[in-house]
């Protein structure tokens, strides 16, 4: 199945609604598109021990990897009411392990869309490969 950018943004927004964010109250959703056309979603999950919080982007990626996926083409992120919410540095590094040329899309449903390649967001990725 082919998805357009607004479809992925809408899926990320739907995932955001499931976020567990009782501390920051900043809910984030992500929708990760595989090379095979499947979409995996994730939301941020906070913890009282704040360092144990997991971002939406990593939740989506970890679900996909756990399902056997290894190739990804696009990631949509919707955060709070922000017009643009790009992944944090930790998420950028984890995503780069699998898809350094990933297209990262952010925005709001029905609003403007911002697009970058992961390499632009994290130009000097740490790698052992």
Split at pLDDT 50, 70, 90, the class of 1 is: low
- Residue at 76 is within a domain: yes
Q: Which tokens sit at 53?
A: 């919080």
The model's pLDDT over 84-113, given as tens digits with 9 standing for 90+, comes to: 999 999 999 999 999 999 999 999 998 999
State how far the Cα of 67 lies from the Cα of 52, in Å rounded to an integer.
23
Average pLDDT of span 72-87: 96
Q: Is 24 annotated as a binding residue?
A: no
- State pTM to two decimals: 0.95
- Give the confidence band of 128 by pLDDT, cuts at 50, 70, 90: confident
Residue 51 domain boundaries: 5-106
Q: Minimal CA–CA distance to 15: which of 71, 86, 76? A: 76
Q: Could you tell me the sign of the dihedral formed by the alpha carbons of 16, 20, 25, 26, in that order?
A: negative
Identify the CATH number of the domain in which residue 21 sits: 3.40.140.10
The answer to whether 46 is a known ligand-binding residue is yes
Query: Looking at residues 113-124, what average pLDDT do you find?
Result: 96
Residues forming the active site: 57
pLDDT over 90 (residue 127): no
Q: Is 52 exposed, middle or buried (0-12, 13-18, 19+ CB in 10 A)?
A: exposed
- In this structure, how many other beta carbons lie within 10 angstroms of the beta carbon of residue 51? 5
- Does 116 reside within a domain? no
Domain count for the chain, please give it.
1
- Is there a binding annotation on residue 64? no
Residue 17 lies in a domain: yes
The conformation of residue 88, written as its DSSP 8-state character, comes to: P
Residue 111 lies in a domain: no
Q: Is residue 78 domain-resident?
A: yes
């Amino acid at each position: 199945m082919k998805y357009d950018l607004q479809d992925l943004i809408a899926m990320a927004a739907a995932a955001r609604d499931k976020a567990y964010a009782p501390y920051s109250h900043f809910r984030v959703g992500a929708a990760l598109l595989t090379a095979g056309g499947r979409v995996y979603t994730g939301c941020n999950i906070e913890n009282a021990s704040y360092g144990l919080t997991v971002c939406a982007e990593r939740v989506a990626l970890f679900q996909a990897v756990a399902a056997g996926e290894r190739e990804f083409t696009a990631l949509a992120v919707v955060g709070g009411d922000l017009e643009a919410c790009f992944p944090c540095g930790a998420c950028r590094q984890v995503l780069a392990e699998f898809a350094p040329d990933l297209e990262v899309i952010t925005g709001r449903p029905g609003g403007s869309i911002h697009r970058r390649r992961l390499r632009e967001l994290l130009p000097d990725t740490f790698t052992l490969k």
